[in-house]
Structure 1
Amino acid sequence: MTTPLLLVANAGEGSISVFRFDGASLTRLSVAPGLTGCSNFVVDAARDLVYASVKGSPAGIVTLRLDRESGELTEVSRRDTPRGGLNYVALTRDGSVLLGAAYSANYGLIAPVTDGEVGEPTSIVEHRHLHSVAASADGRFAYFVSLGDDLVGQYAITDDLELEPLDPVGAAAPAGSGPRHIVLNGAESFAYVITEFSGEVLRFERDQATGVLSFTDAASFADALQGLQPGALGGNPLEPRSIWGADIHWGADEQYLWTSERTTSTLAPLKVSEDGSLEDARAFTVTQQQPRGFALSPDGRFLVAAGEEATEVALYEVRGDHLTELQQVETGSGANWVRWA
């Protein structure tokens, strides 16, 4: 059995740290420098490849090869994105297609991948402040989450990698909610979107034949006892103290959806009912300062959280809706993205 590895992006110093996990603790194996402003990457574990979004002039997508023994990351290729850097990258169709979302540049893209080399984008879509993108498991549909337009842009992926708008092209979210990151359940009957400003996880029903999403309901991940105000686009979430949602991931067996909130620096799970509806979060764990990114191990037994204002990541054991801290380990400045490999 391959020993699990964990990768953490440190945007402040432009690096990715690689850790080995022995089932109880993390050991840092290596740090790959020279990845300016890297705050997002995606891992193709089957091929030991990492696609990292970097800033700079121009910005780009850097492909890195992962040596599982040493933990070393070696650059393989680079694709410039002169239109603007990507805030989120994802893979589909068995690693042969890359999707990207750009927040500041207000666009999303799709591009072919051949032997680790990202090709020219074949299709571009435009929505304000795109923050994430995800594809259906069969690679037929792509969902671009627009924080600025309060919607999920929904598209069919054609055989020649064009993005064809569905009807409607945007699945509307509540006004001012600030949809941010998206996950689908295993059956792909629902999509769940964490909001940055309203402190909610939005549930969308998904038509599995057409791929179309329809907003259904929402549940809260914000701690009501903290007295946070709703956030707003362009506002300072710390003055006054406002909701500042960040990341979302599935727990084991899809019993809980885990979320992070940056103003209170908390992690919180929402219980998922059999019908896919959510209960408001009731348990809150204070973690690294401003937890922009976190990830659960494939078996859901462990969680690692990174904070934008912390230089260490925290390792937790997951027991139901509670977390037990096992370790804090140095990673680097501006740590904000976590993925298991």
Structure 2
Amino acid sequence: MSTYCFIACRTAGTIEAHALDEERGTLRRLAVMDGVDGVSTLAFDHGRAILYAGRAGETPLLSVFTVVAGGRLEPRGDFELPHSAAFMSFDVDGLLIASYHDSALSRIPLDDDGIPTDARPTFTDASAGKNIHCVLPTRDGLHVYATALGSDRVLAYRRGGEGEEALVRLPSTVVEPAGEGPRHLVISPEGDRVGVITEMGGHVYSYDRDTVSGALTFTGSVSIAGDGDELAHGVARVPGGAPVPERPMWAAELRQARGGSLWLATERTTSKLTVVRAGETPRVLGRVGTETQPRAAAVAPSGELVLVGGEKSSHVSVYRVGEKGILEPTQRIETGENPAWFAFQRVD
């Protein structure tokens, strides 16, 4: 079995293809796809071996690639997006897109070949909340959740039935106190728990999920700030927004490892990676210094390796995650400037 890792390097305008040795915890660069200007987010269709790349620019684009032998990328075409993409998720016969700057959530239909199609309408919700930052479907296929950073809400949708739109909005969950800024979320493999990280407050929130109604119930939270960090409360970085403090809380990524028993969070002012024990009452197990301004992180398919990319370091660090949350560094490699997103493919 082979594992490929694709790294979107935003400032470089490239997508790097690497072979990932999950036993050793090492990456080996295979190829670099140039000319992918503004690439900032990736999503992967494992069934059809298709990589989707969201690209920022005057006209937001979706670039579609087929992964062929040796992890090489074969371009399938570029397609205009209805809005900029901060986060994308593959959704069986569609692509979910969260737009931070346009405060919108969309679902783009895909044809049988995995290409955007006009045969079914694109769903867009531009009134659910401000600064949509993340969107994920549940594994049971019943619900979709998204974060509205500027509205302090976790949005919820159910699947539309006959005569309805693709997604139907449900009551949202308010993240308190105000100004926390829910940024990214994870959904447990069993689908009964949702974790949310807040960008400005620096907390990881845990919610029980009702798998029938989709309702979320808050159960506990924990701060990822460490003793001596001396971080001020963060602010939303939007045009005309409040001045940014000298040392603000600036949390970024939340991922899950070890079958969902551990959550991994990054913070960009301190450049720290924090391990959290997942559950009703999450708790911090440890934290380590990592890449400078670590916006991007991802967990490999084994659930035992975490990759962290530095916006300011142009490097990626790989760590093995132990059952008790101990992080063992296994490799650090140079990449194109600003490694902003990761995607993986396992091939038998």
Fold shared per TM-score above 0.5: yes
For the 8 Å contact 1:135–1:142, the answer to whether it is kept is: yes
| 2:198 is aligned with 1:195 | yes
Alignment of 1:309-320 (within 5 A): 309-319=312-322, 320=324
Alignment of 1:242-257 (within 5 A): 242-257=248-263
1:119 is aligned to 117
For the 8 Å contact 2:277–2:285, the answer to whether it is kept is: no
Return the letter of the residue paired with 2:310: G
1:29 is aligned to 30
For the 8 Å contact 1:197–1:230, the answer to whether it is kept is: yes
| 2:282 is aligned with 1:284 | no
| 2:330 is aligned with 1:330 | no
How far off its partner does 1:253 sit? 2.7
Gaps of 5+ in 1: none
For the 8 Å contact 2:95–2:108, the answer to whether it is kept is: yes
| 2:260 is aligned with 1:259 | no
1:223 is aligned to 226
Return the letter of the residue paired with 1:134: L
Identity %: 28
| More displaced 10-residue stretch of structure 1: 120-129 or 324-333 | 120-129
2:153 is aligned to 151
| 2:178 is aligned with 1:172 | no
Distance (Å, rounded) in 2 between the aligned partners of 1:311 and 1:236: 27
Distance (Å, rounded) in 2 between the aligned partners of 1:119 and 1:195: 35
For the 8 Å contact 2:135–2:147, the answer to whether it is kept is: yes
Return the letter of the residue paired with 2:49: D
Normalization by structure 1: what TM-score?
0.92
How far off its partner does 1:12 sit? 0.5
For the 8 Å contact 1:15–1:36, the answer to whether it is kept is: yes
Alignment of 1:10-89 (within 5 A): 10-22=9-21, 23-24=23-24, 25-69=26-70, 71-81=71-81, 83-89=82-88
How far off its partner does 1:135 sit? 0.8
For the 8 Å contact 1:78–1:118, the answer to whether it is kept is: no
| More displaced 10-residue stretch of structure 1: 54-63 or 8-17 | 54-63
Q: How many residues align?
A: 330
Distance (Å, rounded) in 2 between the aligned partners of 1:106 and 1:55: 15
Two-structure CA RMSD over aligned residues (Å): 1.7
| 2:12 is aligned with 1:6 | no
Return the letter of the residue paired with 2:294: P
Deviations 1:85-142 (A, max 9, x none): 11111012xx312110000011110121111202345211122110000111122211
Distance (Å, rounded) in 2 between the aligned partners of 1:205 and 1:181: 16
How far off its partner does 1:209 sit? 0.8
For the 8 Å contact 1:145–1:181, the answer to whether it is kept is: yes
What secondary structure sits across from 2:318 in the alignment? Answer: strand
For the 8 Å contact 2:314–2:336, the answer to whether it is kept is: yes
| 2:110 is aligned with 1:108 | no
Distance (Å, rounded) in 1 between the aligned partners of 2:161 and 2:117: 16
What secondary structure sits across from 1:226 in the alignment? Answer: coil
How far off its partner does 1:47 sit? 1.6
1:295 corresponds to which of 293, 298, 301: 298
Gaps of 5+ in 2: none
The runs of at least 4 aligned residues of structure 1 exceeding 6 Å deviation read none
| More displaced 10-residue stretch of structure 1: 183-192 or 228-237 | 228-237
Return the letter of the residue paired with 1:164: V
Alignment of 1:233-244 (within 5 A): 233-234=236-237, 235=242, 239-244=245-250
How far off its partner does 1:68 sit? 4.1
What secondary structure sits across from 2:151 in the alignment? Answer: coil
- Taking structure 1 as reference, are residues 164 and 60 closer, same or farther at Cα in structure 2, changes over 3 Å only? same
Return the letter of the residue paired with 1:243: M
- Taking structure 1 as reference, are residues 143 and 109 closer, same or farther at Cα in structure 2, changes over 3 Å only? same
